[in-house]
Structure 1
Amino acid sequence: MRVLVVDDNAADRKILRYVLERHDSEVIDAGDGEQGFQQAERHVPDLIISDALMPRMDGFEFLHRIKAAPALRHIPFIFYSSVYTGDRDEKLARSLGADAFMVKPKEPEEIWQEIERVVERARSREGTSHEVEEEEYLRQYSRIVTAKVEEKVRELERANEVIRQRAKSYRNLFNSIRDVIIVTDDDRIIADANQPALRDAFGYELHEVQGKDVRILYADDDGYRASAVPVARKRPEAGSVLEVPFTKKSGDTFIGELSLIRRLGEEGVPTGNIGIIRDISERKRVEEALRTSERERYQLEAELRLAAEVQAKLLPRSSPLLPGFEISAACFPARQIGGDFYDWLEISPGVIAVTLGDVMGHGLAAAVLMAEVRATVRSLSAHNEPEKAMQRVEYALRHDLERSEAFVTMFHARVEGKSRTLTFVDCGHGFAFLRRADGWVEELLPRGLPIGVPSRERYQEGRLTFEPGDALVLYSDGLIDARPELELTPKLLARCLEGSANSREMVERLTSLPGVPSPPPDDLTVLVVLCKP
């Protein structure tokens, strides 16, 4: 059957694709409800599996649009989502017409059993009248809409009350946080001050400073004299700002920002001075913290550059020598460092092991895991056939991946030059195909689960024989994510390789497809094994 999978999480889409394709289902996927509805109209699938919370259009609105479309409303619909509101999500999904609601995560066997139950129920309903179902759906939807409108009205009323209370609180807060205003005569004797701010900043009551020299507020003579310079000019500029230390009644000091302006009488005649004081101690601490943070950022960038250099050195520097074959690869991280990697290792004369792996995510965390995965694969693949090597790699990395809540997709194979055979294991990767010399594309089966996904299944080997001109093409999902609108299938990618002279040119063609951004949105890696014509 044809199944539409709609989920903004690429890892969950990959798991569902694995489950469905194992049972001979054709999978179409989309990253949100809007794309999903377009795909549904275009392909009219036999089943839809959707996440609930997605950008642009969530799963509930997507389900409503499906049920409102005459040509699509009878398609069975399953939610496969995390739970955020208890059973409210499931109740809403059921009321909108969903056939089932599965909670992430589930074992692959459980997912397929639920799909079978839903499909069987849908088949048993075929041939019945849909008019009653449509009327009941419309009645249910009308009740839901009415309830939602009433709830929204209540929410708006509550929100308005909260806004009113916050506005009142904010006004009080604003009025209570004020700069200190000190009014003096020409002899710098304090005549007046705003009491709340004076008390907050200096700890004085107004009567304690009135009639006294403003020197009482300064922490040292240098600050007092510095502030006297613009006063002596008789016309201090309004924009003049000084930073001087002040002292509180308690004897504590703080750094203040002082602005001085002339005090004018009714007829514009200067009668004294006005000083506006703001405590900037916290700002100075923040500025120092920012300077420290900037130094740390520079240090981190330097360390990241060094890490990128180290990671680049972990990748093979030159192509391996294998009679009758060419092997080329390229890796472009989304950031300075990434989670993709490729590798090759000479097992024995004429036998090369090749690997392409993709650690979930990108950046520093993925890069650290990538280094561990690469080292593990190298140590275990030298003396083990692909199937046994991957089984031991999975066992060795299981606990680390579980603790880091990550998984790794990987394609690992051995190429034997003399017999021109390839023995491979696909650990949930899927982005691999064999392009025959005549342009025919072969899918590589079997496939297993990604490393780090709990399962009792064991990995299985696949085997193929190269003919002159055949090319094995491996790539990461970063190639697909770079141009999702092109729907790059293996056949389309194989067509891009027509006329390529060697494996290096094949890699360059795939990594420089028109419109691929630099850097790519996700780590992008391509590896090609070409059997020479």
Structure 2
Amino acid sequence: MATSEPLRLAALYELGLLDTPPEERFDRVVRLAKRIFDVPMVAVNLIDEDRLFTKSAIGVEAGGSTPRDISFCPRTIETGTSLVVPDARQDPRWARNPLVTGDPGIRFYAGAPLAAPGGELVGALCLIDDEPRDLSPTDHALLEDLARWVEVELAADADALQAREIQKRLLPRHPPVIPGYDIAGRCQPALHVGGDYFDWHLLDDTLLQFTVADVMGKGLAAGVIAAGVRTALRATARFNTLSDAIRLTASSMQDDFDNTGTFATLFTARLRPSQGHLEYVDAGHGLALIVHADGEMEQLSSRDLPLGSDLDTNWQSQESRLAPGDTLMVVSDGLLDIYPEPDDVLEAARKLAASDRTAEQMCDRIMDASIGHEVADDLTALVIRREPSW
């Protein structure tokens, strides 16, 4: 039974591949197909509502678009089977097609449909030649095998996007409403899924705990470890001191850290809003600071190691105070891709805190700073601003 066009398009858009640059994982299939079939043109094409987008190609422009109504590949998704045209000039269905009579002068075409993980046909792997030819039964089977390879990569995208949605749901949806405080956070993964996260929750009516953590690496594995750290810290925080909560979290996650060869830097703190009293633990993070109302800056850091580096570490809590008019900022090391020099980070923070922006606007400004830079790491920011009158 054919999939309806709206469902097919929804599956295509969910992959998030339209209008994206070529990727080696698809280029690899294209190169192999060219060697096997000895054709001048090979492409992985995705079929949108009114156009064909070329995700990866040899012999034609990758990243380009072709009107759907003149393209060969849409016929493969209409029939649901591979399409082979031995000589387009001799085929009445295609003889007057502008892609045959003009550039690129298609004579031979063979395309195998590509299915999304749900079975919806979203594109085709196609072979093109400017000379007539045909495919043997063995060639047909090889083309189908290569198409299945492309589908594996499409499924990997779908899994990553689903994981990203799950990770997004683990982030707080709304900041806690605390009179006299403006609170916001943002997390921008470098890939579909990242190893950064931020969190906040009220331990009771008088105590807010908040965290920024950064698992070494990025991608799905880092995201899984980050989710585990978040869950363990939330579970241990309510009934333990801050230092003990970190120790118990590290202990419960140690096997995962060992098995993946990773670790996590973490800054977590407990804020008593009525007094602005701040108790914090810095586990190798080093990227938290308070910009005081008078412009002076206080870095909140320690010599304690990240979680996963040494189970015998004794994480010590320290104290500070968030006075009226002060702004607390905690960021992840993705910001260092934008400001390589620590002094530049401090100066940017000072200027941002001196602005009239809300905490949400400040987080957005930090995220926007990545525009125009090659940010290879996840970028996370958490801002807590105490109103001057409180």
Structure 1 position 501, deviation (Å): 3.6
Distance 1:322 1:278, change over 3 A: closer
Q: Which residue of 1 aligns with 2:297?
A: 441
Structure 1 position 483, deviation (Å): 4.3
Distance 1:445 1:311, change over 3 A: closer
Structure 1 position 456, deviation (Å): 3.2
Q: Aligned pair 1:479/2:331, yes or no?
A: no
Partners of 2:372 and 2:236 in 1: how far apart? 36
Partners of 1:240 and 1:347 in 2: how far apart? 70
Query: Which one scores higher on RCO, CA 8 angstroms, separation ≥ 6?
Result: 2
Q: Deviations over 1:348-375 (max 9, x none)?
A: 0021110100011111111111111111
Q: How many aligned positions are there? A: 268
Partners of 1:279 and 1:300 in 2: how far apart? 30
Structure 1 position 489, deviation (Å): 3.0
Structure 1 position 490, deviation (Å): 2.2
Q: Is the 8 A contact 1:482 1:522 kept in 2?
A: no
Q: Deviations over 1:262-312 (max 9, x none)?
A: xxxxxxxxxxxxxxx999666444321221123333333223222211111
Local SS of the residue matching 2:344? coil
Pair member with larger Rg: 1
Q: Which residue of 1 aligns with 2:164?
A: 308
Q: Which residue of 1 aligns with 2:147?
A: 291
Q: Aligned pair 1:426/2:282, yes or no?
A: yes
Q: Deviations over 1:44-76 (max 9, x none)?
A: xxxxxxxxxxxxxxxxxxxxxxxxxxxxxxxxx
Local SS of the residue matching 1:375? helix
| RMSD of aligned residue pairs (Cα, Å) | 3.2
Q: Which residue of 2 aligns with 1:521?
A: 376
- Residue of structure 2 aligned with 1:352, choices 208, 213, 221: 208
Local SS of the residue matching 2:211? strand
- Residue of structure 1 aligned with 2:325, choices 449, 462, 469: 469
Q: 1:525 is matched by which residue type in structure 2?
A: T
Q: Aligned pair 1:384/2:232, yes or no?
A: no
Partners of 1:526 and 1:349 in 2: how far apart? 25
Partners of 1:242 and 1:430 in 2: how far apart? 58
Q: Which residue of 1 aligns with 2:196?
A: 340
Structure 1 position 473, deviation (Å): 0.7
Partners of 1:242 and 1:496 in 2: how far apart? 58
Local SS of the residue matching 1:484? coil
Unaligned runs of 5+ residues in structure 1 are 1-225, 231-238, 244-260, 262-276
Q: Which residue of 2 aligns with 1:93?
A: none
Partners of 1:481 and 1:427 in 2: how far apart? 21
Structure 1 position 440, deviation (Å): 0.4
Distance 1:473 1:284, change over 3 A: same
Q: Which residue of 2 aligns with 1:218?
A: none
Q: Is the 8 A contact 2:183 2:383 kept in 1?
A: yes
Partners of 1:288 and 1:240 in 2: how far apart? 21
Partners of 2:204 and 2:259 in 1: how far apart? 36
Q: Is the 8 A contact 2:163 2:193 kept in 1?
A: yes
Unaligned runs of 5+ residues in structure 2 are 1-85, 91-105, 111-130
Q: Aligned pair 1:402/2:258, yes or no?
A: yes
Q: Is the 8 A contact 2:211 2:269 kept in 1?
A: yes
- Residue of structure 2 aligned with 1:331, choices 187, 206, 212: 187
Q: Which has the higher helix share?
A: 1
Partners of 2:147 and 2:345 in 1: how far apart? 50
Partners of 1:472 and 1:479 in 2: how far apart? 16
Distance 1:291 1:241, change over 3 A: closer
Q: Is the 8 A contact 2:339 2:345 kept in 1?
A: no
Partners of 1:523 and 1:280 in 2: how far apart? 48
Q: 1:417 is matched by which residue type in structure 2?
A: P
Structure 1 position 403, deviation (Å): 0.9
Q: Aligned pair 1:505/2:361, yes or no?
A: yes
Q: Deviations over 1:105-131 (max 9, x none)?
A: xxxxxxxxxxxxxxxxxxxxxxxxxxx
Q: TM-score, normalised by structure 2?
A: 0.62
Q: Deviations over 1:158-190 (max 9, x none)?
A: xxxxxxxxxxxxxxxxxxxxxxxxxxxxxxxxx
Q: 1:395 is matched by which residue type in structure 2?
A: S
Partners of 1:517 and 1:383 in 2: how far apart? 45
Percentage of matched positions with identical amino acids? 31
Q: Which residue of 2 aligns with 1:183?
A: none
Q: Which residue of 2 aligns with 1:117?
A: none
Partners of 2:258 and 2:137 in 1: how far apart? 46
Q: Which residue of 1 aligns with 2:21?
A: none
Q: Which residue of 2 aligns with 1:51?
A: none
Distance 1:443 1:290, change over 3 A: same
Partners of 2:160 and 2:378 in 1: how far apart? 16
Q: Is the 8 A contact 2:325 2:385 kept in 1?
A: yes
